Amino acid sequence: MHEEEITLQIITERLIITAFDQQNYKKVSETYPIGKHTAGYLAHLEEDSELLGWGVWFVTLADNNQIIGDIGYKGRPDIQGIVEIGYGIIPDMHNKGIATESVKAIMEWAFSSGQVKKIVAECLIDNLPSIKVLEKLEMTRVRIKDGMIHWEITNNRHR
């Protein structure tokens, strides 16, 4: 009998969204540029397996397995049930609804965990593609500070 590795994945209409872990890191890094944020997350994940899902996920096209971006959270929910989300999709995939589809999927995952009351995000005031994504996801602009727009959405749909 062998232990089966558990992979945390979300499948949407066009995408397979997979939480980074030590097992898939090498395979992904062969075809997709891994940022410092991913390496840092993996180091913390090695120390605390309960971080799985509260860090970086990679986004793959379901039809051809091409990795087209990474999205995720900047840590697990805080004591108030708040997490911050971030995302980056390769330029070839902009204006196709990919960012909206992938971010919506992991937002639903977070809200369904029972640990998240609010998801926050930020983007530069001139980052029109991100502004469009956050508006489509029905996030609310809460303030503008230091050239950044701060957004939030609460978990009132899932309770």
Q: What pLDDT is stored for residue 157 in this prediction? A: 53
Q: Are 122 and 131 in contact (CB under 8 A)?
A: no
Query: Where is pLDDT greater, at 25 or 101?
Result: 101
Is the overall model pTM greater than 0.75, yes or no?
A: yes
Place of tokens 């840590």: 75
Q: What pLDDT is stored for residue 3 in this prediction? A: 42
- pLDDT exceeds cutoff 50 at 2: no
- pLDDT exceeds cutoff 90 at 130: yes
pLDDT in tens, 57-98: 999 999 999 999 999 999 999 999 999 999 999 999 999 999
pLDDT in tens, 91-128: 999 999 999 999 999 999 999 999 999 999 999 999 99
Domains observed in the chain: 9-114 (3.40.630.30)
Q: Are 44 and 55 in contact (CB under 8 A)?
A: yes
Nearest to 93 by CA among 53, 63, 123, 56: 63
Please give the radius of gyration of the chain, using alpha carbons only, rounded to the nearest integer. Answer: 16
Local confidence band at 5 (pLDDT 50, 70, 90 cut-offs):
low
